[in-house]
Amino acid sequence: MPDPRIVAHRGCSAFHRENSPAALRRMAGEGASGFLVNDPAAARRALAA
């Protein structure tokens, strides 16, 4: 089941304020470029799974 803290929605400016696509790519690799996250640790765990 997807982690509810990871929101796949490019249009959400509230998440964009804290998580730019470039920052996400640095954090989790190119595979995460479509995701906006409000919990970076959860994103890393989900991507590593």
pLDDT over 70 (residue 7): no
- pTM of this structure: 0.26
**Greater pLDDT, 37 or 46:** 46
Instruction: Determine the angle formed by the axes of helices 21-28 and 40-48, rounding to 10 degrees.
Output: 50
Q: What is the pLDDT of residues 13-45, one digit of tens each?
A: 444 445 566 666 665 554 444 555 566 777 677
With a cut of 50, say whether residue 46 has pLDDT above it: yes
